[in-house]
Structures are given as structure tokens and as C-alpha cells.
A and B are shown apart, each in its own frame.
Chain A
Amino acid sequence: MPAFGSFSLLVALVLSAYSLLAGAVALRMLATGNRVAVSPERLAETARRAGIGSFVAATCAAFALVWAAFTNDFSVAYIAEHSNRALDIKYKFAALWSGQEGSLLLWAWLLTAYGFVLRVRHKVDVTLTAYASTILAGIQVFFFLLINFPATPFSLVQGPVPPDGNGLNPLLQYAEMVIHPPMLYLGYVGFSVPFAFALGALMMRYPGEKWIHITRRWTMVTWLFLTVGIFLGMHWAYNVLGWGGYWGWDPVENASLMPWLTGTAFLHSVMMQEKRGMMKSWNVWLIFSTFLLAILGTLLTRSGLVSSVHAFAQSPIGTWFWVFFVIVLAICIFTYILNRDHLKSEHHLESLVSRESSFLFNNLVLLVACLTILWGTFYPVLSEFFQGQKATLVGAYYNVIAVPIGVFLLFLTGIGPLLAWRSTSMRSIRKNFVTPSIAALVVAIGVIPFGVHPWTIVTAGEQGSFYAWITFTLAAFVVTAIFAEFFRGARVIQGHTGRSLLGSVVQLTRRNTRRYGGYLVHFGVVLIFIGISGQAFNQSKEMTMSFRQSMTIGPYRIQCMDFSQDSNANYDTEFALLDVYRNGHKVTRLAPELRLYAASQQPLTVVANHSTPAWDLYVIYAGKDAATGQPVIKAFLNPLVMWIWIGVLITILGTGIALIPNLSAALAAQRSRVTAAIPEEVVTAGKAGD
């Protein structure tokens, strides 16, 4: 099987290279009108098919590696390094992406899978897809070169084959970890498609904005995968790393957030291009930057350039990534300079108080956030280069900038949909802003008795409570504005159809899925902000607990009922059984664990969490007291965390709705299908009958 895997990778490389070269030659022939023995259409068709073939070959290679993991083939060095016999079957599958070479294979496979869908759907716009397919083939060549030469996953172990493997990193032996990396990769890799379309459209000076319509769904799907990947990572960090938080501004976390920020900016600003033919250069550069940041993020993770809990060891492939990054950047700049006159805006910003300006501010803020994170992430590298000493920026640096930026974004989320395109009059502002402002005022006053005291920023120098208060106030504004949008639209539908209000809301959403799905996404984002602002009120307590001893945190009393240890083939574990009481009533029993994995001799904290809408009681087994042998228990009371996960689910739902075609478009498509299916004479006869 390793030989078949290696051969498949080589075939995938050859097919990708052919797809790139034949595609480029065919497009050049079409552009210049020069013909040779083979027609450009025929050549382009073989290039398209070679791209599809590369997906088949990459699938064979991925299958060969997974097969090697399932059959415990430790003659393959990668499997010996990242799997072992006792490993649970679902984690054997995860071995595909648990190491450098395997995860690069996953990257390449996903890239060809996206390419497969793009090439199969080429009839949507044959020439534009041919450009995109050729560009995608170029990216494929790079990744297949990597996994064929410096980072092949099928290299064999030197010397005798070991009887068992080193096992999977314990941190990755967690159910969500089986889907978190593929989701992130789907997000990272997926941005290659809108990038390829944007670059292709610019190269061929594509007239109009239809390429945006074609790529819109790709971009949304990709954005959704990246969002889900990031939040699964947060959920994993919260439940596995055992430090009580979910985001640590780790370089690899930052690497995933940066393309997400520019991708979010693109999803917003692209509407200005579709609606008003504005911001064309900006949009092209946003999607170029998003792809480049995805490559930069992969470079960070792969090269060992920065230290991170996620990063792979120092490796020579960093140089390969740098070269690829520079080549892509050069191609982007060159193509842009050559064709920049094609990207002239059809309209200009008419007023600072308009939907366009709110999108512009939204973009600027997202970009500032991205640059701040980029600077912080690369600071250790830059400080080492300029000062000879590696200095790392801690979370406080990011929080000082990210929190106000986040609050401003929340503000824009609220006001953007209330503003009109072109310009908004004062009367319109008064008309639309009154109800949300009243709701915001009510919440601003209403949260004060619950301990949210904004004045502590002045009296005690504490920013947390102040920002939480602003967040709650703005959240009320945004949520009211969103509900008002649904309510107003539904009333119009209700007036015409006589449906119930709920039925009208459904009809309204189906009528313009993108807009109302988008509002649901905004609602999800508001809930995420509310959840994050709960951090300002976190509490924690640590205690060595003997049998039946209690500790109190917030409204909870935790009583230690037992502590013991156990072991199986994969790990040894120590755990405590803790009864949790509130107002004298037992609410749950928690069992935090500390595992030591046999193969890797690495420890893993298994968090016990009692989650409610108000707060999470998050308990970890921090180890044994050396003197008494009793468990050291650390408890955190984290308010509102559940709203983050609920907000993510609503965001997913909203994006899913936005991906559904509008009712009118679907009906039109259905009508055209029916008309096409009916023989012409029947249609003519029907018309005559009318």
C-alpha cells in the first residue's frame, strides 16, 4: 500500500502539472487567436479532465495512508510516529492529519476535491472556469511537489519495523478533534477557489460582476467551514487544555483568525460591488489577501517559525512556503498592475451616512484587527531579527486593541442594515433608530443591578465591566434592529397574503435568503459577543480536597465524595468525584480526570463542566498534593459561556439559510426546467389555446 500511495501522489503531481500547462497554453491560444494542431477547446478539455483525474489520484493516496493506519502498518514512518495498536478506531482516521506530512496530504486532497467540484460544474461559465481551474492547478502543483519530495507521508522506517507506534498526541484524542482540523482545512483550502476565480476574472478582464455571483456560494461555504473550524478549536481548547479559557492568542489560533477577518470583510464589501459596482480593486485585494493569509498561516504552523502549542517542529518546508508565497504575491501584483484600469468603480461614495460607508468602516475595522494580529503574531520573529532577542506579545496586547475593535464592529452590525444605499437622511435615521435606541437604553440601565458597573473603569481602573456594559447595550440595539427588520418585512407579506406573522417571516426569509440569513448570522454574532463579555466576571478557586470536604464558588458548593485511579491499554487515569450543590440541593456530580497516556507518556486534563445559560462551573483535576496524596481541585465560574456556542449554532443556521437560493430564483429555475421539458408544439398549442 505505501508504494501505491507514493505512486498515486506522483500521478497527482503529473496530472496537476499537465492541467496547469495545457490549461495555460489553451487560454493563451484563445486570447491571441493562434491555433496549432490541437484546438484550444480540446486542449482545455484535457486540462480540465486532468484536474479531475488529480482528485482521483489524491483520493487513492489519502486512502492508502488511512489504510496503513487502520492495518497498523508501522513500516510507514508516519504511521509509526502518529498511531499505535491500542488507539481507538476513530482516532486512527484522525492520524491522517495529526502530523506534518499527513495534514499536507489532507490539504492537497481537499484542494483537488474543491477543484473537482469546480471542474465538474464548468458549464456555469466555461472560459472563466477554465482560468480558475488552471490557477487552481498551479496551487495543486505546489502542494503535490511538497508531499512528493520534502514531506512525503509514505517514507519507510529505517531499519527493523517497530512492533508498535508512538501513538497519537493525547491532546488530539478528543471527539471534536476528529472534525476540527478538517473543518479548518476546508476553510483554509476553500479560499483558493474564490481566489482562483478573482485572479482569473482579472486576467481575462471579465466584464461585469457575474464572477462574484459564481463565487459567492463558494466564499460563504468556505467562510462557514473556517468559522466552524475556529469555534470547534475554541471548544476543544476550553474542554481539553484545562486552563478555563477558550482563546489564548496563540500564533496558530491567530493564523486561522486572520483569513477569517479578511474573508468576513470580503463577504460584506462584495455586496457593494454587486449592488453598485464599487470597491472593485479593494475586493480583489481582499480575496488575494485572504488566500495569502491562509498560506502565511500554514507557513507559520509548518515552519516552526513561531512557538505554539499547535505548531509542528522546525522543518525545511518553510522555505518552500516562502517561495510559493512570494510567487503568488508577485503574480497578484503583476496581474493587478496590468489590468487595474478594468477595476474602475462605476460609482463613488455619495455620503458618509449610507450603507456603503457602513460597509467601508466595517472593512477598515476588520482590516485593522487583522493587521494588529499579524503584527502581534510576527513580533517574536521581527524582534529577534532587529534586536537579536525573541520577545512575545502577551494576550493583554491583543485585548487592548481587539476589545474596542470588537465593540465598534458590534455597533456597525447594528447600524449598517438601518442605513439606506447612497445616502440616509436625518428623518430616515430618526425613523429607524428610535426603537433600537430605546431598547439599548433600557438594557444599559437594567444590567446595572446585576453587577455590571461601567464606572469601575474610572473608580477602579477595571476595563472589563465597562466593556461588558457597552457590549450588552449595543447587543440590545442590534437585536432590536434585527427583529424590527424581520417584523417590518413580515408585516408587508402579511398584508398581501393574509398569512400568520410566523408564516410571513418564513416567506420573507425565503424571498431573500441572503439578507435574512445574514441577519440571523448577525444575531448569532451578537450572542457570541455576549458570551465573550462574560469573561469580565470570571472567578476561580483552587483547593486540596479531602474526603467530604467542600469549597464554595459563586452560588455553588462543591463537595469531594471520592478520589481514585484506573487504567486501560491506552492510558492511566486519576479522578475525583465531586457533588455540586446549589441552595442546598444537589444539582450534578462532576468527575474531573488527569490521564497519562502510555505510548507517549503525555498527560491530559479531562475537564468536568456543568454548563447553564447563566454560567459554567468548570472543574479540573490539577494533580495530587505531594504531602497528603489528596486531589488538587481547581474550579472556575465562567459566566455566559454557553451563549458563545449557541451563537455559533445560530451563525451556522444563518449561513445555511443564506446559501439556499431565493424563492423567486428557485421558481424561475423550476419554470425554465418545465418549459424546457415541454415539447415546443405543446407550448405553441397552449399559447394558441389561450
Chain B
Amino acid sequence: MSTIASGLLLIGLFLYVFWPDPNAEAQRNKTRLEYLRERRDNLYDNLRDLNFEYRAGKYPEEDYAAQRAALENEAAETVAEIDLLETQTLAAPLSAAHHSTL
């Protein structure tokens, strides 16, 4: 009984591990653009939290204004870099297509 169970376990696991899978997931490294988008979302979350806490009466006006300005500056810088990288990403295939047509 033990021998049969052991044999079945071994064969089953061997087949499972080495059975060819044509759709093996691509191991791709994260790009800076993806990182910046995550960062932008995070900054927007922080801004939303700050606005909510301000409306709840937790912070005085001047504290709120200072914190909001700092977060907005940071978000603006991130969005600007995203725009730049997106433009470059779009431009690269267009440029390649242009060269191949020529």
C-alpha cells in the first residue's frame, strides 16, 4: 500500500513539475514608468487623506495649506516625469517605423 502510494506521489509530482507549459509567465523587470505611476497614485492617496482630515477639522488652515502645497509639488514633478517618459516611449516605435519605411 505504502509502495503504491509512494509511486503515485512520485509520478504525479514529476509530471506536474516537468510537464511542458507553453504559457510560462514572462519574467519582466519593472520599468521606471511603472514605478512613477505607482508613486503618483500613492501621492494622490496622500492628498485625498489630507483633504479628508482637513474637512474633518483635524488640521488648521495654515497647516493644511502647507502640507497640500508640498504634496502637490511632489505630484506635479512625478506627473511631469511620467509625461516625459510616455512621450519618449510613444516616440521610439514611431521613429523606428519611420526609419524602416525609409
Asked if A421 and B27 sit within 8 Å, CB to CB, the answer is no
Whether B56 lies near A126 (C-beta < 8 A) is no
Q: A20 an interface residue at 8 Å Cβ cutoff?
A: no
Structural contact, B2 and A3, CB atoms closer than 8 A? yes
A49 neighbours in B (Cβ, 8 Å) = 16-17
What 0/1 pattern do residues 401 to 428 of A give for CB contact below 8 A with B? 0000000000000000000111011011
Let me know if A557 is at the binding interface, CB within 8 A.
Answer: no
Using Cβ atoms and an 8 Å threshold, which residues of chain A touch B58?
420, 428, 431-432, 488
Query: Complex formed: what's the CA distance from A42 to B18 in Å?
Result: 10
Contacts of A50 in B (CB 8 A): 17
Q: Are A7 and B6 in touch, CB under 8 angstroms?
A: yes
Instruction: Give the residues in chain A near B80, CB-CB below 8 Å.
Output: none
CA–CA, A2 and B52, complex, Å:
61
Shortest distance in angstroms between B14's beta carbon and chain A's nearest beta carbon? 9
Known: A1-B2, A122-B25, A126-B25. A488 touches B57 (CB 8 A): yes
- A138 adjacent to chain B (CB < 8 Å): no
Residue B24 interfacial (CB < 8 Å): yes
Residue of B nearest to A430 (CB): B60
A30 to B25, CA, bound (A): 13
Chain A residues, CB < 8 A from B32: 207
CB <8 Å contact, A41 and B10? no
Interface residues as binary, A82-121 with B (CB distance below 8 Å gives 1, 0 otherwise): 0000000000000000000000000000000000000000
Partner of B56, one of A46, A122, A491: A491
- Are B52 and A492 within 8 A (Cβ)? yes
Distance in angstroms from A467 CB to nearest chain B CB is 31
- How many angstroms from the CA of A492 to the CA of B59 in the assembled complex? 14
Nearest Cβ on chain A to B15's Cβ, whole angstroms: 10
Q: Using an 8 Å CB-CB cutoff, how does the interface string of A2-43 with B read, 1 for contact, 0 for none?
A: 111001100100010010000000110010000000011110
A420 to B70, CA, bound (A): 13
Selected interface stretch from B35-43, B81-89, B94-102: B35-43
Contacting pair B63 A428 (CB below 8 A): yes
In the complex, which residues of chain B have a beta carbon less than 8 angstroms from the beta carbon of A130?
27
Q: Contacts A46-B18, A427-B60: A40 and B27 contacting too (C-beta < 8 A)?
A: yes
B38 engages A46 (CB within 8 Å): no
- A579 lies within 8 A of chain B by Cβ: no
A275 vs B39: C-alpha distance in the bound complex, in angstroms? 9
Taking a contact as CB atoms under 8 Å apart, the answer to whether A431 and B60 are in contact is yes
* Contact A45-B24, Cβ < 8 Å, known A4-B6, A489-B52: yes
Question: Which A491-534 residues sit within 8 Å CB-CB of chain B?
Answer: 491-492, 512
Across-interface contacts of B16 in A (CB, < 8 A): 49, 52-53
17-47 of chain B: CB within 8 A of chain A: 17-18, 20-21, 24-30, 32, 34-35, 38-39, 42, 46
Contact of B9 among A8, A127, A274 (CB under 8 A): A8
CB distance from A48 to the nearest CB of B (A): 9
Q: Which of A44, A46, A52, A432 contacts B27 (CB 8 A)?
A: A44
On whether the beta carbons of A41 and B27 are closer than 8 Å, the reply is yes
Partner of B67, one of A421, A427, A489: A421
Give every chain B residue within 8 A of A44 (Cβ-Cβ).
Answer: 24, 27
Interchain CA distance A403-B63 in the complex, whole Å: 36
Is the C-beta of A60 less than 8 angstroms from some C-beta in chain B?
yes
- CA distance in complex: A50, B14 (Å): 9
Q: Tell me if A334 counts as interface (CB < 8 A to partner B).
A: no
Contact of B35 among A126, A208, A421, A432 (CB under 8 A): A208
Picked from A18, A52, A60, A425, the residue with its CB within 8 Å of the CB of B62 is A425
Q: Does B92 contact A (CB under 8 A)?
A: no
CA distance A126 to B28 in the complex (A): 8
A208 and B13 CA atoms in complex are apart in Å by 37
Give complex CA distance A46, B58 in Å. Answer: 53
Q: How far is the CA of A318 from the CA of B96 in the complex (A)?
A: 62
Contact of A210 with B60 at beta-carbon distance under 8 Å, contacts A11-B9, A127-B27, A130-B27 already known: no
Identify A492's interface contact among B17, B55, B70, CB under 8 A: B55
CA distance A42 to B27 in the complex (A): 10
A57 touches B (CB below 8 Å): yes
A13 to chain B minimum Cβ distance, whole angstroms, is: 13
Q: A125–B59 Cα gap in the complex (Å)?
A: 38
Q: Roughly how many angstroms separate A1 CA and B3 CA in the complex, as a whole number? A: 9
* Any A CB within 8 A of the CB of B5: yes
Q: Is the CB of A127 within 8 A of B29?
A: yes
Residues of B within 8 A of A8 (CB): 6, 9
Assembled-state Cα–Cα distance A209/B25 (Å): 22
Residues of chain A within 8 A (CB-CB) of B5 are 4, 60
**Which chain B residue has the least Cβ–Cβ distance from A56?**
B13
Q: In the assembled complex, which residues on chain A have CB atoms less than 8 Å from the CB atom of B20?
A: 42
Of the candidates A57, A126, A208, the one having the most CB atoms from chain B within 10 angstroms of its own CB is: A208
A interface footprint on B49-81 (CB within 8 Å = 1, 0 otherwise): 110110111111011001100100000000000
The answer to whether B29 and A46 have CB atoms under 8 Å apart is: no
Cβ of A492 and Cβ of B56 under 8 Å apart? yes
Tell whether A210 pairs with B59 under 8 Å between CB atoms, given A3-B6, A53-B17. Answer: no
Is the pair B9, A41 in contact by a Cβ cutoff of 8 Å? no
Whole-angstrom distance between the Cβ of B56 and the nearest chain A Cβ: 4
A421 to B32, CA, bound (A): 27
Binding site for A on B (CB under 8 A): 1-3, 5-6, 9-10, 12-13, 16-18, 20-21, 24-30, 32, 34-35, 38-39, 42, 46, 49-50, 52-53, 55-60, 62-63, 66-67, 70
Report the 5 A-B pairs with minimum CB-CB distance, sorted nearest first: A488-B56, A45-B24, A4-B2, A207-B35, A208-B35
Supply 20 A–B pairs (Cβ within 8 Å), ascending by A: A7-B6, A15-B17, A18-B17, A41-B27, A44-B27, A46-B18, A53-B16, A56-B12, A123-B25, A208-B30, A210-B38, A420-B53, A420-B58, A420-B59, A421-B46, A422-B67, A424-B63, A428-B58, A431-B57, A488-B56
Q: 16 extra interchain contacts, Cβ-Cβ under 8 A, other than A15-B17, A30-B27, A207-B34?
A: A4-B1, A7-B9, A11-B9, A11-B10, A26-B27, A49-B16, A53-B13, A56-B13, A123-B25, A207-B32, A208-B30, A208-B34, A275-B42, A428-B59, A431-B58, A492-B56
A→B interface (CB under 8 Å): 1-4, 7-8, 11, 15, 18, 26-27, 30, 39-42, 44-46, 49-50, 52-53, 56-57, 60, 122-123, 125-127, 130, 204, 206-210, 274-275, 420-422, 424-425, 427-428, 431-432, 488-489, 491-492, 512
